[in-house]
Structure 1
């Protein structure tokens, strides 16, 4: 049995001796004694349930069996809208409070304190969709130029890596997992220049390689990768088979890691003076956004990104609509009142 933390249950969750208040106190006791929750977690539950009890009190509800699914749905709506004493809660904060309420009602039913669980059909609000963060074409070009500016073997690798990420929409894990044989760049027909990407769930897709990425990769393969591969003779510790096949190598001649590739992007952005936040997926997001802004069909972009469902890809259309709205607001003579 978990030790009861002194003071963990101190303070009333609400005023009044009604059955709902007593049930909440019993539930909080259960969280501490039987489930062994930390004091901070219990405090969060108490705070959320105090607000719930205040809501029930305003409705004149003092019995668990008087609570309906509509009562709890109304509480969720009140959380999202806020009131005189409370700011509106975000979807995630409201969801956390509803989870506390659902846990309480489930316990009350199991412990014989209620004859039903009115919260069973109430679901926490879905979290707001986080729009992917793309950067402008100008920022992309500055980052790419900064990556290869030194002209060293590592700089050639960095430029090739970032050109592949932006030119194919590859995930960073897909890019660092590439072998030399996964790229087809020798055909006389530019349309046949492709890269084989291995995505999530071992799913493979073949994606076209544009001229900028193609030239950057060729420069790296001719003038950069041989120098990095030669690091084996100077004490590099990567496995020989890995060194022989891996496309992007580190300074010791081993396969470049995902973390190191992320650092390449961040360093290039800093050198380019790009102030926007840059993450491992920044170039992938920019690839998709710029394609859609250029008129590409969303299902084509879905195939290029390797999304199993077009619904996943459609989040990028929200970004482009926002962009169009900004252009309209700034450019149309009757857009502003």
Structure 2
């Protein structure tokens, strides 16, 4: 297949005007497959079948190739065999069933308990907006609710004396407990600030209002979190969802039952919550290696 590869690269260079980097990637990836095929007793492109590609795909995964690399191999091999199809050098395309792998997603950003404290202390409680923002940040971290759930909260969803809020966004409803710090922050906001933000002619029932007396938006919430992350000196790209991740991780680090955390997060299955268990294990190892005198 080496001869076909050189013809393919030449065609891609002159006919398709691809960049040098793309050509080098094509050549490297296809040559990797050619070596694999030869080790499997396959020496001509016509002899490559779909089951050979499926086996090769499995080998790449077993080697620990990341999804970004798998996507690149797929693109290179599909381009190669489509070229051979166009030139009538093969009768069928063995790569036609190769599914595109999902892109690698970065691990959730989890900030430390100390960073959480710095973030919660950042708003100026001498100002009305600072009191509101304190309540927002306390609620996010105390409950782990999603952005959509926080902005959908209405005043009637908060039950401070009973210590819980009701989330009903997206057609699903669940009860989430709130701690004393969040209860106090919400109560202060409700008794001293919300009425000053609300318009006199408005019947808006949203819990958190913007400066115009309207329901807080997603964009507004993101700006609030980023503003106080900067003020707290947190260099990581903090988002409202980072507080949800941190809520889950900190509960599990401190011994919370994973099914209770799953219920509080509103996860349909346990698998989505399991990722936090893996993260807390890796964090424990980091702490051990950094702190234990016999670990280094």
For this pair of structures, how many residues does the alignment match?
Answer: 291
Structure 1 residue 269: Cα displacement: 1.8
Structure 2 counterparts to residues 67-216 of structure 1, below 5 A: 67-68=48-49, 69-70=51-52, 74=56, 90-102=66-78, 104-105=80-81, 113-120=89-96, 122-123=98-99, 127-147=103-123, 149-185=124-160, 187=161, 192-199=162-169, 201-216=170-185
Structure 2 counterparts to residues 47-86 of structure 1, below 5 A: 47-55=24-32, 63-68=44-49, 69-70=51-52, 74=56
Structure 1 residue 283: Cα displacement: 1.0
Unaligned residue ranges in structure 1 (runs of 5+): 1-13, 33-38, 82-87, 234-239
1:90-120 Cα distance to aligned partner (Å, 9 max, x none): 5313323313423553675698542344335
Q: Do the aligned partners of residues 107 and 136 (structure 1) sit closer, same or farther apart at CA in structure 2, a change above 3 Å counting?
A: same
Q: Do the aligned partners of residues 307 and 29 (structure 1) sit closer, same or farther apart at CA in structure 2, a change above 3 Å counting?
A: farther
Residue pair 1:169, 1:288 contacting (<8 A) in 2 also: yes
1 CA distance for matches of 2:8 and 2:234?
Answer: 56
Q: Do the aligned partners of residues 78 and 281 (structure 1) sit closer, same or farther apart at CA in structure 2, a change above 3 Å counting?
A: closer
Q: Please, what TM-score do these two structures have when normalized by structure 1?
A: 0.73
Asked if 1:314 corresponds to 2:274, the answer is: yes
CA RMSD of aligned residues (A): 3.5
1 CA distance for matches of 2:127 and 2:34?
Answer: 71
2 CA distance for matches of 1:118 and 1:171?
Answer: 44
1:129-169 Cα distance to aligned partner (Å, 9 max, x none): 5221111111111111112x242221111011111100110
Q: Please, what TM-score do these two structures have when normalized by structure 2?
A: 0.82
Structure 2 counterparts to residues 274-293 of structure 1, below 5 A: 274-293=234-253
Structure 2 counterparts to residues 288-299 of structure 1, below 5 A: 288-299=248-259
Query: Corresponding residue for 2:223?
Result: 263
Q: Do the aligned partners of residues 197 and 103 (structure 1) sit closer, same or farther apart at CA in structure 2, a change above 3 Å counting?
A: farther
Query: Tell me, what secondary structure is at the counterpart of 1:196?
Result: strand
